[in-house]
Structure 1
């Protein structure tokens, strides 16, 4: 890649320590109205990025369209990057059991639980990486259940020419309004697509504005009803959905954050250096522009920076002008 191919990212968040700006996080974002109009943008929101796990709600829509039926808590886990708690793993195992398959049928990568507390508890019990503990196991369990529903092969459900990835590509392209011209492999083994932030914001808007009972709305409603399944205790995505009524949120590795409000306005952002710590603070100024009550966002915008055990600075999102 040459320099002129780098996206034109802009400053989105800063960390201060004492009187100095210690670090600056660059990135791009797009916030849109329910009808697709631009509310605010920064950087280059039209550049292609990999949304990583923020694709999971769209993949869940594709599976529902292919005939998958799950109760709301299990559907939320299918769209989750869960922390690997006992509840998360038991729910993924139930999706498998109800479909008549076993954890050994999973084809996702192995890992320790993603949540800090969950991982420590897991290690204290002397356990190592497993596919069920990995944060994408809910999605993969649902993928297997979808294959069983349709009589599709189980062993090859990650192959590009398998019917399931084919359906997923069609739905992702439809919801984002973009052709899938760049395709790679995500950390868990599923396909990941190069998409613009504007396209991803468009897709998340469709999830919350779809008619009740449609696959799009079922996914959005399940995630909002069970935010603890979408991430976990102590995770900012779960906390934000609990704090703001009707808000839908999904993060992704490498500094990805997607948010849609109940009114259909939506936000997509990417932190250019992939840093997770700046993801939520960078989102807050855009959410304020979108009309979210500032009091509800206070815990997410100004994160303390410590020196000697005492606050000496903060990590905060930079204000955005309309």
Structure 2
């Protein structure tokens, strides 16, 4: 099957661009709705951080380190590098007897405007704690310490990554067809859109036992702390706030998005083929409206889907539209 038309950009009465992609909504029994090819193989990128955090919780490492819901939200986060993120990650590392140099995620300028301005004006360089994945890596370090394993926890054959791969394959119900190196240097395992949606359905309706408790804790942490999962001005944070705890959403690089809807037992996975964030944010917003989790007139829906696109003078220049029958 080919990619489906998901989102269109219209300008001056003409369709200017089209975002194609694949979407699957699943429950415990399988696919509920789908657009495009459910078997399309992708890298989930950061959308699967709650899966990567499963061994942290299941192993007992999180409890042994005294981690709370804020820590678990940061383990699932692609954060802005604001003070609310960096101070918490720094304190987390300090509590482990570790510091920034123990991270293996690399450094980049934060997306948070205030922290970026502070660094620029002070002539201070960003450190690895500013990396949007530093919370995930603090989780990896916590698990590494619990396992008494070596320092290079992002290596594919390290016990941490072997545990992540096992969890990933178990919750997707698939054997990973390959792996690539993510922006934060950790391995990212490939799966189908259907497999990723199946994994999210498991988080939406967790079972009993160690895994179910871990899945529930991670989702509850994301819902309790949307500001830590992304940050101000970010789609993940703004959508979760707008839905008031009814669903968790998480983006990944190259236009991947997942959704977890506990009240309906639904898991959502989508990938926009062109890798464009605009299309992915509009598509996940359209799905939340489709499922009755957001009202069409809500300001967050207007921001990411229905509102006019404006130029630098504030003039309305175009609009995004749902393409064809998406979502039906």
TM-score (norm 2): 0.90
Q: 2:254: which partner in 1?
A: 254
Checking the alignment, whether the CA contact within 8 Å between 1:17 and 1:313 is kept in structure 2 is yes
Please point out which of 304, 307, 315 is paired with 2:320: 315
The 5 A counterparts of 1:1-322 are: 8-32=2-26, 34-69=27-62, 70-154=67-151, 156-211=152-207, 214-244=213-243, 245-262=245-262, 263-295=264-296, 296=298, 298-299=301-302, 300-307=304-311, 308-318=313-323, 319-320=325-326, 322=328
Gaps of 5+ in 2: none
Q: Give RMSD over aligned pairs.
A: 1.9
* Structure 2 Cα separation of the partners of residues 303 and 269 of structure 1: 22
Instruction: Please report how far the alpha carbon of residue 118 of structure 1 lies from its aligned counterpart in structure 2 after TM superposition.
Output: 4.1
**How far 1:42 sits from its partner (Å)?**
1.4
Q: Displacement, 1:317?
A: 3.1
Superposition deviation, residue 122 in structure 1? 3.3
Instruction: Give the deviation of 1:56 after TM superposition.
Output: 0.8
Q: Which moved more, 1:293-302 or 1:227-236?
A: 293-302
**Separation of aligned partners in 2, 1:23 and 1:241:** 28
Tell me the CA shift for residue 75 of structure 1: 0.8
Q: Name the residue aligned to 1:3.
A: none
> How far apart are residue 320 of structure 1 and its match?
2.3
For residues 101-157 of structure 1, the C-alpha deviation after alignment (integer angstroms, 9 at most, x for no partner) is 111111112111134554344323323332110100011111111111221112x21
Moved more, 291-300 or 310-319: 291-300
Contact 1:92 1:138 in 2 (8 A): yes
Q: What CA distance in whole angstroms lies between the structure 2 residues aligned with 1:274 and 1:36?
A: 30
Q: Distance in 1 between matches of 2:59 and 2:16?
A: 49
> Shift of residue 36 of structure 1?
3.4
Q: Structure 2 vs 1, CA of residues 298 and 159 (structure 1 numbering), >3 Å: closer, same or farther?
A: closer
CA displacement at 1:211 relative to structure 2: 4.9
Any idea what SS the aligned residue of 2:316 has?
strand
Give the direction of change, closer, same or farther, for the CA distance of 1:289–1:195 in structure 2 (3 Å limit).
same
Q: Structure 1 199/110 Cα, relative in aligned 2: closer, same or farther at 3 Å? A: same
The question of whether the paired residues in 1 share the 8 Å contact of 2:28 and 2:202 is answered with no
> Unaligned regions of 5+ residues in structure 1, if any?
1-6
Task: Assess if the C-alpha contact under 8 Å between 1:84 and 1:114 holds in 2.
Answer: yes
CA distance 1:291–1:36, shift in 2 (3 Å): farther
Contact (CA 8 Å) 2:30, 2:198: kept in 1 or not? no
Map Cα deviations across residues 191-233 of structure 1 (whole Å, 9 max, x no partner): 1011111111111121121158711111000011001000001
Mapped to 2, the partners of 1:174 and 1:63 lie a distance apart of: 15
CA contact (8 A) 2:25 2:34 kept: yes
Name the CA distance, whole Å, in 1 between partners of 2:189 and 2:201.
Answer: 19
